[in-house]
Structure 1
Amino acid sequence: MKYKRILLKLSGEALMGDKSYGIDSKRLQQYTQEIQKVKDMGVEIAIVIGGGNIFRGVQAAESGIDRVQGDYMGMLATLINAMALQSALEQAGLYTRLMSGIKIESVCEPFIRRRAIRHLEKGRIVIFGAGIGNPYFTTDSTASLRAIEVEADVVLKGTRVDGVYTADPEKDATATKYKTISFHEVYEKNLNVMDMTAFTLCQENNLPIIVFDMNKAGNLSDLVEGEEVGTLITTL
């Protein structure tokens, strides 16, 4: 395998599937099968999942809710998704641990770096929920930070788009995809990959990011085997 330990970042919106809200069981099962394939290859897997299918902190302002309160609500939304994914993975016979940025001992462990690494070494899939436990930080930032803390080889950002393009491919038919691009070029061209905090963390720690289409069967396993899938962002 090209990567021994990965941090898989999934968007909450992706869990909606064809629905307009909540969790689509078919999409959840699809992701479970893809993750199981990679686990069977012997790869150590950590996962961060968003909560946009349930609630986003930025929605708070529109509702008149305080931004900080809204961000905490968003953290709880990510935890709901993380619990759903944990349940699906365990039904498939996989061993998991759910670790939270905020203390909710009834359903998950608090995040402790050494314990998280130990779980990965023992072959458990570690899911990080509730962000980093502080407002004003996105799940992209959580993914970058946790990947650095557990010494992952790469951040795999699974989206509905198959890579990074010169423009939004859903709005611009002339947009072309990058196979490889440097952190500097992403900054320079103002491409929307991750929020600036998350992106800078990866750049400063020389942690590569691969943006790929998680909804296409086999993409995840192809990636960890070293095939060219999506767009690799690295220090060239």
Structure 2
Amino acid sequence: MTQTVSLSFYRFAGAASRVWALTMMGAARLPLARTPDIGFWKLCGSGTGEGFTPVPNTAVYAILATWPDAATARKRTTEGVFARYIAKATETWTVFLQTQSVRGAWSGQSPFAPTQASGTGALAALTRATIKPHIAARFWARVPNISEVIGQDPNVAFKIGIGEVPMLHQVTFSIWPDEKTMAGFARTGPHAEAIRAVRDEGWFREELYARFAVHSDRGTWNGTSPLAKLEAA
């Protein structure tokens, strides 16, 4: 079996639904832990703008989880607590991923199991970090610039910033058509400058970098599948 990672996004409209989604950041923990076949999982809020920003987006939440295989991932992400999110949300999108490479740790664990999966040809990049509190101001001074550049890149099919704890635990996630375009962004401009600062100044208490093959998806985001942009190209 090949481990599959699911990343599900949920959009909520109206104050009541958004309050429900916020309370589920705590209330969903036990149901998720009891979900059959689930491995590592995280509940996340999101930031506004292109990529991650320190301003929360109260309309969008996400659940990341690992599963023993793709069929199980597709089934379980429509059941139980996932079904409750789907019923409350105005729009949902889940992307299914298979890990190609990973380094670092997340909450002291190594959650993703690399395989030789090729998927559709599209690649996803995930960066997760715990920011040292005394460095947070410098970190957030740089991130909006990186986020703006990601949003302007014509190659990126999807990009979002999510996080477990506002300001201190952040995740960036993006989808690219191929390795060349992904690497081109990572090695130039504000992103490359930030990476150098991370290494030189020791911004992060814990960090993880993972690359995935995009296996498949389900649902829509902003009215269409983000993978449709890659298929059209």
How does the TM-score come out when normalised to structure 1?
0.30
Higher strand share: 2
How does the TM-score come out when normalised to structure 2?
0.30
Higher helix share: 1
Higher RCO (C-alpha under 8 Å, 6+ residues apart):
2
